[in-house]
Amino acid sequence: MQCPIRGGRRRHEAADHVGDAPGEGERGAIVEIRRNHLDADRQPVGGAPDRRHGDREIDAADQGIPPEQVIGSSIKTKFELRDGAPVLVRLPEINFIDDKAGKPVGIQMHIGRRPIAAFGNSDGDLQMLQWTAAGKGARFCLYVHHTDAKREFAYDRKSSIGRLDKGLDEAQAKGWTLVDMKKDWKQVFPIQ
């Protein structure tokens, strides 16, 4: 199934004015999209590859999401009794990485259902958008294409970090919304 908004680039009011939304870069616009366009009975969930065990509060503050709803990479943890007291012990093992195929796995593990909307900015988000788009009913998938090296940071098909290559092809083929940061946003950061 395709995501419902099709037709290449689409200018969104959230891209014109970040307003008083918290955070930086695309996060402010995504917070505004969540606030204005998702059903009130759906809980927003955020994620970042390295945010499960360290910066959940930072991610939550940036995106307006409670820390317990931030999904990120995790380290295995076990329960032990030490001197008769229960403790949780972090093990020197990775539980899962919230990147690429790990994103939909983490979403399913933490919220137990397929999202109705997903936002990405690199090939590391492709499987999450594919998982979202494959659900029944209306779905919304959006890629933010970081093309504005002057106001933020640009990366594309051949970038060494933040590569967006396969995701661009799939977004165009499936009719997902593709936002070009340089062309579509008047403002990138809230303080511009």
Q: What percent of the chain has pLDDT over 90?
A: 51
Res. 41: pLDDT tops 80: no
DSSP 44: P
Q: What is the pLDDT of residue 65?
A: 72
pLDDT tens profile 114-157: 999 999 999 999 999 999 999 999 999 999 999 999 988 898 99
- 7 Cβ contact partners less than 8 Å away, ≥ 6 residues apart: 175
Q: What is the pLDDT of residue 70?
A: 83
Q: What is the pLDDT of residue 34?
A: 62
What integer is the mean pLDDT of 66-73?
83
Strands (E) in 13-139, as ranges, are: 46-48, 70-72, 74-82, 85-96, 117-120
Res. 163: pLDDT tops 60: yes
| Cα–Cα distance, 32 to 99 (Å, whole number) | 24
pLDDT tens profile 8-38: 333 333 333 333 333 444 455 656 666 665 5
Strands (E) in the chain, as ranges, are: 46-48, 70-72, 74-82, 85-96, 117-120, 140-145, 177-180
Q: What is the pLDDT of residue 47?
A: 61
Helix (H) or strand (E) holding 134: none
